[in-house]
């Protein structure tokens, strides 16, 4: 029986002898590697926080002390140490463990976060609540790293945290990059310990007060001594900017030296005020294939072979097509530049960066800055393409509205992983964009149904020069290509039928709608299927097409509230067309993690489900249909 199997609660971890911890860390890494090799997931970040997470749970008393991970994809080890090691094989599987903290799973999971740079604000509020309620024995601990400290919200939080010297709050900076040199040696350790004692602060204040009374030389002498202190810290602790904010700082600490991390956390806890604990970790630590993976140290690999580190082949995807097309557009247009928010490879901009290294900007996890920087690039005569995950556009709505659209700037936003994404759970489904974006004046939204249309619509989008545009597509393999059989204005007619039902298939929903139309035929219902191509603005030809049918059905892979269906209904009302409109899309609730197709089936977005619903809707309006042979039992 391994040590990990005996850990049912953090209290069990505290009972272990320090000599058992290296073996426990090895067992954790083995389970991480073997599980993620099968399920996919965030491997590199979690391999890097094994010793850090062990130390956190040995020093603090979760769940009374609140440990927050930013981002939450660093929480796999935390899950194992809080009683979920036995279920870890279900990671990211339907009905199994989430790839992020989950309140439904454990009282030790405080926030269900996968959007970065938020934990410091949560911790600020928690620590203030502890103080106000007189709970002096509780501590809020925010573990931030893996790029999350590049987000502006984190620095807004630090600014507020620094203003309250009495908050029991610890910020663990998990530094797994190469931007800071490690500090080693006894003197550095001594300085860290000294700075964390109240006696040091009291002594410094005493010297300041007494020297201040000495005429002429007192104040300059104190400033000189204080400068020496600051100079030493500049040498031995490069992160003095935290102390310049008024925050106590410990580190840097070797994040893979568990006793050292544990000692630093104990000093920080004893201080009972805001403290930065800076730990240096290596992404992918302990698994050579991850450590030597140049692209991202196996940040989030697909299933892979443990022995070779080779990932299973992935099908040609929407992202691949976008990547190829961006390189072509870059060759044709020297004014086209690209922006990514720490997602160069995942959003498909790596090939563009290789081809045009002077025209790519990675701004870190800072979507707000990305959009307003894009506005500046557009003001400077360029056409920026900002490629981000659809779920992360939520964070930059105001910038797209007020900094880009208000100035009618030619910025193209490409939203990868739009609609249902599946495995990463509720925070990653890109289901909000079609609702949010409808309210932005002058914005055009393209929704391609297949690879051919993605190429066409991306080219059309970067050709728009009098306002912003959006191109959105889902995660995963490409659907079959569906050619148009005709055109209505700028819309593609995918299937011509008698005037029973007009099926408006928004982008990748075209395949489902074509299946539904075939099934409706068997029920004696003829359906016309159109792809609007542009979900905003809608083509005026849609009004005439709707008026010629008995029922309009809009199918979209976005939230039903305020989406394309609502825009179609509003358009028809404004034109005094009284044909009924039914909308099918994603229900306005947070969806549990599962495969994309499983979720689409669960929420009724399949050809069979649509055909059944539409048949019932038509039957209510047509007594003749009720007597159709296909309807008889």
| Binding site members for Mg(2+) | 146, 176
- Closest CA relative to residue 296, chosen from 306, 308, 309: 309
Question: Which residue positions form the known binding site?
Answer: 73, 114-116, 146-148, 176, 287, 367
Residue 6 per-residue DSSP state:
G
Distance CA 129, CA 124 (A): 9
When computed from its CA atoms, the radius of gyration of the chain, rounded to whole angstroms, is: 28
- Closest CA relative to residue 526, chosen from 559, 494, 497: 497
Sheet strands side by side (includes 469-472): 360-362, 336-340, 383-389, 412-416, 469-472, 444-446, 534-536
Dihedral (C-alpha) 107, 110, 114, 117: value to the nearest 10 degrees? -160
Distance CA 29, CA 303 (A): 16
Question: Which residue positions form the known binding site for thiamine diphosphate?
Answer: 73, 114-116, 147-148, 176, 287, 367
Distance CA 439, CA 252 (A): 47
Can you give the length of the chain in residues? 633
Q: Which two tokens stand for residue 43?
A: 């491997």
180 in Cβ contact with 106 (< 8 Å): no
Query: If DSSP codes are grouped into helix, strand and coil, which group holds residue 279?
Result: strand
- Closest CA relative to residue 54, chosen from 262, 253, 287, 282: 262
- Active-site residue among 395, 417, 449, 596? 395
* 325 is an active site residue: no
- Active-site residue among 367, 449, 495, 556? 367
507 in Cβ contact with 449 (< 8 Å): yes
Start-end of H helices in 66-106: 76-79
- Active-site residue among 195, 248, 283, 536? 283
* 283 is an active site residue: yes
* 495 is an active site residue: no
Distance CA 173, CA 179 (A): 13
Mind telling me the catalytic residues? 283, 367, 395
């Amino acid at each position: 029986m391994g040590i990990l199997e005996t850990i049912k609660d953090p209290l069990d971890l505290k009972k272990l002898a320090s000599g058992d911890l290296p073996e426990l860390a090895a067992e954790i890494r083995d389970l991480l590697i073997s599980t993620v090799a099968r399920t996919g997931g965030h491997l590199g970040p979690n391999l890097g926080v094994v010793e850090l997470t062990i130390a956190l749970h040995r020093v603090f008393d979760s769940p009374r002390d609140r440990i927050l991970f930013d981002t939450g994809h660093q929480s796999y080890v935390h899950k194992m140490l809080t009683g979920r090691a036995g279920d870890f094989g279900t990671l990211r599987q339907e009905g199994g463990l989430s790839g992020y903290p989950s309140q439904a799973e454990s009282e030790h999971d405080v926030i269900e976060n996968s959007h970065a740079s938020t934990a410091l604000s949560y911790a600020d509020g928690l620590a203030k609540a502890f103080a106000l309620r007189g709970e002096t024995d509780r501590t809020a601990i925010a573990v931030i790293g893996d790029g999350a400290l590049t987000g502006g919200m984190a620095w807004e939080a630090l600014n507020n945290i620094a203003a309250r010297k009495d908050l029991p709050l610890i910020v663990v900076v998990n530094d797994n990059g190469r931007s800071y040199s490690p500090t080693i040696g006894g003197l550095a350790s001594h300085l860290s310990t000294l700075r964390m004692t109240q006696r040091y602060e009291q002594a410094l204040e005493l010297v300041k007060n007494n020297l201040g009374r000495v005429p002429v030389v007192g104040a300059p002498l104190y400033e000189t001594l204080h400068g020496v202190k600051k100079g030493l810290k500049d040498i031995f602790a490069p992160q003095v900017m935290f102390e310049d904010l008024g925050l106590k700082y410990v580190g840097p600490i070797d994040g893979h030296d568990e006793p050292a991390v544990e000692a630093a956390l104990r000093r920080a806890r004893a201080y009972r005020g805001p403290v930065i604990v800076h730990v240096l970790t290596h992404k992918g630590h302990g698994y050579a294939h991850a450590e030597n993976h140049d692209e991202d140290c196996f940040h989030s690999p697909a299933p892979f072979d443990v022995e070779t580190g080779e990932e299973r082949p992935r099908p040609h995807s929407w992202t691949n097509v976008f990547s190829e097309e961006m390189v072509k557009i870059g060759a044709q247009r020297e004014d086209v530049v690209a922006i990514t928010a720490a997602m160069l490879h995942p959003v498909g901009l790596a090939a563009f960066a290789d081809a045009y290294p002077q025209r790519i900007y990675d701004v870190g996890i800072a979507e707000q800055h990305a959009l307003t920087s894009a506005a500046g690039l557009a003001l400077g005569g360029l056409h920026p393409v900002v490629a981000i995950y659809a779920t992360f556009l939520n964070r930059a709505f105001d910038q797209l509205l007020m900094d880009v659209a208000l100035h009618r700037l030619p910025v193209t936003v490409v939203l990868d992983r739009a609609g249902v994404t599946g495995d990463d759970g509720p925070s990653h489904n890109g289901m909000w964009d079609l609702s949010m974006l409808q309210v932005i004046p002058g914005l055009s939204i393209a929704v391609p149904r297949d690879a051919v249309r993605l190429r066409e619509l991306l080219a059309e989008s970067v050709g728009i020069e009098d306002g912003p545009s959006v191109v959105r597509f889902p995660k995963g393999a490409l659907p079959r290509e569906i050619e148009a059989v005709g055109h209505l204005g700028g819309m593609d007619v995918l299937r011509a039928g008698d005037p029973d039902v007009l099926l408006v298939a928004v982008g990748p929903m075209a395949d489902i709608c074509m299946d539904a139309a075939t099934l409706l035929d068997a029920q004696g219902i003829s359906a016309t299927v159109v792809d609007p191509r542009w979900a905003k603005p809608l083509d005026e030809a849609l009004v005439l097409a709707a008026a010629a049918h008995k029922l309009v059905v809009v199918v979209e892979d976005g939230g039903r509230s305020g989406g394309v269906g609502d825009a179609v209904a509003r358009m028809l009302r404004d034109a005094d067309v009284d044909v009924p409109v039914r909308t099918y899309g994603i229900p306005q609730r947070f969806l549990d993690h599962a495969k994309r197709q499983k979720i689409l089936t669960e929420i009724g977005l399949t050809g069979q489900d649509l055909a059944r619903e539409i048949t019932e809707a038509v039957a209510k309006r047509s007594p003749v249909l009720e007597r159709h042979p296909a309807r008889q039992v």
